[in-house]
Structure formats: structure tokens, C-alpha cells
Amino acid sequence: MLIDLLVAIGIIVLLSTITIPYLRKYQPNLKLRVASRNLTGDIRYAQQLTITEQKTHIVSLDIAGGKYEILRIDSATTTVKTVNFDSEIFLKQITGLTGNNILFNFYGAVSRSGTIILSNLNNNESTINIKPSGFVELVE
């Protein structure tokens, strides 16, 4: 009985020793997927706010700070939402956007199309394409 218990514990320890390094390697990739999907969803959210409220909304990306904000532009600028990226996720590159801002008009289109590339510690990338029509595409 005691030998069976020790063998079972030994097998559990062996399997844990093998699987933990793989899980740690996969974790940054999972965080990248979550961050890119959240950013894509928040860009679409800002677009919908602009359409429904008929007030200009901007998604402002801060590469140095590792964050983005959804701002409502009215008589005063109001922060709707602020999101800080995990320390393992980086805004690698932003192209085409004026001042790293995504600005929507009342029909849901953007003032300038562009691309956002997120990266993680494993150098994996996730790309978000923003078309002139306002279509937001996530490429993982």
C-alpha cells in the first residue's frame, strides 16, 4: 500500500517536472493572444460608442507607457477606459495612424487606416489591421 502511494507520487512529480517548463513557455503566447483580442475588442467598442453617442471617440496608444486609452472628445476630453499591458506584452510597432491615435467618425470609419503590432517575450507577434472603413482585423 505504501509502495503504491510512493509510486503514484513519483509519477505525479515526474509529470510535473516535464510539463511545467512547457507551460511557462506557452504562458507569454497566451498573454499575447488575450492582449491582442482585448485591444481589438476595445477598438470596436470605441467605434460603437462613436456611432451610438454621435460623439468622437479616440483610441490613444502609448508605446512608451505600454498602455492604451479610450477617450471621448466633447467639450472636454473624458477617459472612458485605460488598459495597461502585461509586462510581457509590448506595442512593437504602429504604422499609418496619426499620433498613434485611432479616430472614428460618426459613421464608424477611421480618419486614417493603420496597423498595430503587439509582441511578447518569445518574439511572437500579433497584428491588428484597421481599414479605412473602420473594419478591424486581428491576425494572430
92-110 per-position pLDDT tens digit = 999 999 999 999 999 999 9
Q: How many whole angstroms from its chain centre is CA 24? A: 20
3-state helix, strand, coil in the chain (%, to 5): 40, 35, 25
**Beta-strand relationship, 77-84 and 67-73:** antiparallel
Distance CA 139, CA 96 (A): 17
DSSP state of 8: H
| Domain ranges, residue 100 | 2-139
How many structural domains compose the chain? Answer: 1
User: How large is the average pLDDT for residues 125-138?
Assistant: 95
CATH assignment of the domain containing 41? 3.55.40.10
Mean pLDDT of the chain: 91
Question: What pLDDT digit, counting tens, does each position of 23-63 carry?
Answer: 777 788 899 999 999 999 999 999 999 999 999 999 999 99
